[in-house]
Amino acid sequence: MSGFPRSLVRPGGFRSVPYALLGAALSMPAFLFSLVVVVIPGTPRAHLALALLAVAVLLAIAGLTGPARRLGVASANGLLGTELPAPGRDRLAWPERLRSAAWLVLHAGFGGLLLTADCVLLLGVLTPAMWLSGDQGQFSFFGVTTTAGSWTLAVALVALVALVLLQAAATRGFRAGATALLGPSAAERAALAERHAAVLAQRNRLARELHDSIGHTLTTSTIQAAAAADLVEADPAQVRRALGTIEEASRSALEDLDHVLGLLREEPAAKAPARTLAEVDVLAVRAREAGLDVRLSVTGPVAALPATVSREGYRIVQEGLTNALRHAGPGAVDVRIETGPERLAIAVVNALPGDRPRTGRRGLAGLAERVEALRGELAAGPDGHQWQLRATIPLRTGA
């Protein structure tokens, strides 16, 4: 069962009644203003036609406004169950204004017609009440004079079926009309897609920040805590050094976390931690205290690197050391940083983790995005008995 037949057995298929009532209610202020046409000479029929025309014009003018469009979308979603995106607060283009005006007029007009038809059919449903009450007198029904009898049961049944079908059809019609006239235009869909892409980009950036900073700190702290537990009696001095390193790394991670949470809350947060390659020796010290034999080689004026390049370089070294700790365990790691006039080259090389498979490629994917944004190249993978992470970032004058 699908489409129209399914709507007959769903409570949501009869939402046209409250939606029609809303349309009638919205037209009432315009109808009151339109009563001024009675001062114009003419027949009652002419007065009615002029009043309806005035109502349509007034509703169309009201529908040109932004609040009217937002109200139309909200009411369609709430009463009809549509899923129209809420319009933004930007100034509406004229095509959207005209579509909103047309829908407000149609909403009120078809709502009034639907309620009138409902009242007529409801009278038909209630006709057996006269016969069942014992009233055998004559009465006029739709212009026909007749006597109440058992035939009113058939009329009531037909009227009831027609009433149900009318509500279901009106609900589908209202939904189709609201979607066509209140739904996003091509320009609005493009704007929605841009906003969605911006949100995804922001989420990806925050995920990278959390992975790079918090992930590195948790990895080193976990390994150092495990090593300290083994040395708590044999080498208390080493345990104190390990705890001091964990405290320092945790404090640094809290700064990063405070910055990221501030971005998520969209409120002013602490200034973003500016960690650059000038602090790469701190990374090396923490990694050594966690058990890695870091052999750091820095060539060239690292302090003169552009801030953006230096920050991303720091993250690359951080990710390489974190992966070495996480996947290979304690051992030798070569970190080479070469800064030349045209490029920055970074290499982090460590022994392969033996039979343990390398998992968790999110960090490398994030690094690749960072490097590509700087028009650089990143390569990571096994090379013989070693795992190599290499990045090359071009340096541009004025970057």
Q: Which of 184, 211, 244 is the last residue of a domain?
A: 184
Does 170 map to a domain?
yes
271-326 confidence digits (pLDDT tens): 555 678 988 998 888 888 778 899 999 999 888 888 888 888 988 998 888 888 88
Does 73 map to a domain?
yes
Q: Which of 165, 184, 203 is the last residue of a domain?
A: 184
Q: Are residues 71 and 136 in the same domain?
A: yes
- Per-residue confidence at 190, pLDDT binned at 50, 70, 90? confident
- Per-residue confidence at 185, pLDDT binned at 50, 70, 90? confident
Q: What is the mean pLDDT of the chain?
A: 80
For residue 26, is pLDDT > 80? yes
Q: Are residues 245 and 362 in the same domain?
A: yes
3-state secondary structure of 332: strand
Q: Helix 44-63 and helix 66-75: axis angle, to 10°? A: 100
For residue 202, is pLDDT > 70? no
In the block, which residue shows the tokens 């298929």? 13
For residue 50, is pLDDT > 90? no
Q: Which domain holds residue 121?
A: 4-184
Does 10 map to a domain?
yes
In the block, which residue shows the tokens 């650089």? 376
Question: Which range, of 73-87, 153-167, 192-206, averages the lowest pLDDT?
Answer: 192-206
222-262 confidence digits (pLDDT tens): 766 776 677 766 777 777 777 777 766 676 666 666 656 66
Q: Are residues 218 and 358 in the same domain?
A: yes
- What's the Cα-to-Cα distance from 39 to each of 12, 30, 36, 237, rounded to whole Å? 44, 17, 6, 101
Q: Are residues 158 and 264 in the same domain?
A: no
- Tokens (6 digits) for 137: 């007198």
Q: What angle do CA 299, 340, 351 make, to 5 degrees?
A: 50
Q: Are residues 125 and 240 in the same domain?
A: no
DSSP string, 54-65: HHHHHHHHHHTS
Greater model confidence, 189 or 347: 347
Does 63 map to a domain?
yes
For residue 145, is pLDDT > 50? yes
3-state secondary structure of 75: helix
Q: Are residues 131 and 211 in the same domain?
A: no
The conformation of residue 40, written as its DSSP 8-state character, comes to S
For residue 103, is pLDDT > 80? yes
- Per-residue confidence at 209, pLDDT binned at 50, 70, 90? low
pLDDT attached to residue 269 = 47
**Cα–Cα distance between 334 and 296 in angstroms, integer?**
6
For residue 17, is pLDDT > 60? yes
- What's the Cα-to-Cα distance from 240 to each of 232, 245, 270, rounded to whole Å? 9, 9, 30
Q: What is the dihedral of CA 219, 221, 223, 229, to 10 degrees?
A: -160
Q: Are residues 205 and 327 in the same domain?
A: yes
- What's the Cα-to-Cα distance from 343 to each of 100, 116, 243, 244, 340, rounded to whole Å? 56, 78, 38, 36, 5
Q: Are residues 198 and 175 in the same domain?
A: no
> Can you list the positions of beta strands (E) in the chain?
138-141, 144-147, 293-299, 332-339, 343-351, 377-383, 386-394
Q: Are residues 95 and 20 in the same domain?
A: yes
Q: What is the dihedral of CA 200, 204, 205, 211, to 10 degrees?
A: 160
Q: Which of 184, 212, 230 is the last residue of a domain?
A: 184
Q: Are residues 234 and 380 in the same domain?
A: yes
**Cα–Cα distance between 16 and 111 in angstroms, integer?**
8
Provide the percentage of residues in the chain whose pLDDT is more than 90: 29
First-to-final CA distance of the chain: 63
Contacts of 241 (CB under 8 A, 6+ apart): 289
Q: Are residues 41 and 153 in the same domain?
A: yes
Q: How many structural domains comprise the chain?
A: 2
Number of Cβ within 10 Å of residue 279's Cβ equals: 14
- Per-residue confidence at 118, pLDDT binned at 50, 70, 90? very high
For residue 120, is pLDDT > 80? yes
Question: Which range, of 128-132, 155-159, 389-393, averages the lowest pLDDT?
Answer: 128-132
Q: Are residues 171 and 238 in the same domain?
A: no
Q: Which of 257, 195, 250 is nearest to 217 (CA)?
A: 250
pLDDT attached to residue 119 = 92
pLDDT attached to residue 289 = 78
Does 84 map to a domain?
yes
pLDDT attached to residue 317 = 92
Greater model confidence, 7 or 194: 194
- What's the Cα-to-Cα distance from 165 to each of 2, 9, 131, 160, 161, rounded to whole Å? 15, 11, 26, 9, 6
347-384 confidence digits (pLDDT tens): 999 988 765 545 556 677 778 887 888 889 999 988 88
228: domain CATH number is 3.30.565.10
pLDDT attached to residue 398 = 44
- Tokens (6 digits) for 143: 């212009």
If you average pLDDT over residues 51-74, what whole number do you get? 91
Contacts 24+ apart (CB under 8 A), 381-388: 382/352, 385/351, 385/352, 386/349, 386/350, 386/351, 386/352, 387/323, 387/324, 387/327, 387/328, 387/349, 387/350, 387/351, 387/352, 387/353, 387/358, 388/347, 388/348, 388/349
Rg (CA), the chain: 37
The conformation of residue 120, written as its DSSP 8-state character, comes to H
Strands 332-339 and 293-299 come out as: parallel
pLDDT attached to residue 189 = 72
Does 399 map to a domain?
no
